[in-house]
Amino acid sequence: MTSPRNPIIVALDVPHLETALGLVQQLAPAVGAFKVGKELFVAAGPEIVRRIRETGAAVFLDLKFHDIPNTVAKAVEAAVRLDVQMLTIHTSGGLAMMQSAQQSAEAAALRTGKSQPLILGVTVLTSLNTNDLAEVGIPHDVGDQVERLANLAALAGLGGLVCSPLEITRLREFLPSKIQLVTPGIRPADSVADDQKRTLTPKEALAAGASWLVIGRPICAAPNPRAAAEAILASL
């Protein structure tokens, strides 16, 4: 998936297919894609992806695959058959796992005639700090570990990374410019932070070098989600 005209990805963090589809119907003309994460996918299954794709909207399947290379390759192939446009894998699964995922996406797209999804690497989860890394045997600063894994993802041929707003500038200093950066933790200037601690506004994140903005509650929990999405688009 190439860089977007509309960079807003709405996180459909809801537990039911009907609720998600209601949001998709309202929001599709005003946003670039919809993110289906673990909660919705486990509750509603692949059907939710098919139903969103029937509306013509793009789907970001955020299941963060992390397994042996063959298993991840097969999961990616299944995601291509479902016709998703973006999906996530953990870079800490290693170079061979990432290469298998990327090769599987390319081969499955050729074989099925479906579009080749953008594979996004997740580096260090933003819920982890340097102490947490030490506990699992990684004796590095979070920023250095993010940099190491980002370089490995680029080496594996992935097309993008998920990163926090505060990582964008550093990543842009050394990553090839074709790598797309997908950034959650986005809050419009007039919006509450919820549980996000380090946020940028949509415009700041794009200026720093983000390619896509993942936005959940500021749109989905707004009294008028469509108006909230349109206001964010207008602010860019």
Binding site for ligand C5P (CB under 6 A): 11, 13, 37, 126, 162, 164, 184-185, 194, 196, 214-218
Does 64 participate in catalysis according to the annotation?
yes
- Burial tier of 214 (Cβ tally within 10 Å: 0-12, 13-18, 19+): buried
Indicate the residue among 37 and 159 with the shorter CB distance to ligand C5P: 37
- Smallest distance, ligand C5P to C-beta of residue 75, A: 19
Task: Give the CA dihedral 132, 134, 136, 137, nearest 10 degrees.
Answer: 170
Indicate the residue among 73 and 163 with the shorter CB distance to ligand C5P: 163
Indicate the residue among 23 and 73 with the shorter CB distance to ligand C5P: 23
Range list of H helices, 1-94: 17-27, 38-44, 46-54, 69-82
- Smallest distance, ligand C5P to C-beta of residue 187, A: 7
Provide the token pair at 85: 């446009």
The answer to whether the beta carbons of residues 122 and 91 sit under 8 Å apart is yes
Indicate the residue among 132 and 194 with the shorter CB distance to ligand C5P: 194
Annotated active-site residue in 35, 38, 64, 74: 64
For residue 2, what is the DSSP state?
P
Q: Smallest Cα–Cα separation from 181: which of 147, 216, 212, 214?
A: 212
- Smallest distance, ligand C5P to C-beta of residue 142, A: 12
- Smallest distance, ligand C5P to C-beta of residue 149, A: 14
Task: Point out the residue whose Cβ comes nearest to ligand C5P.
Answer: 216
Provide the token pair at 34: 């919809």
Q: Smallest Cα–Cα separation from 124: which of 101, 141, 108?
A: 141
Determine the Cα–Cα distance for residues 115 and 56; give it in Å rounded to an integer: 13
Indicate the residue among 33 and 108 with the shorter CB distance to ligand C5P: 33
- Smallest distance, ligand C5P to C-beta of residue 95, A: 22
Residues taking part in catalysis: 64
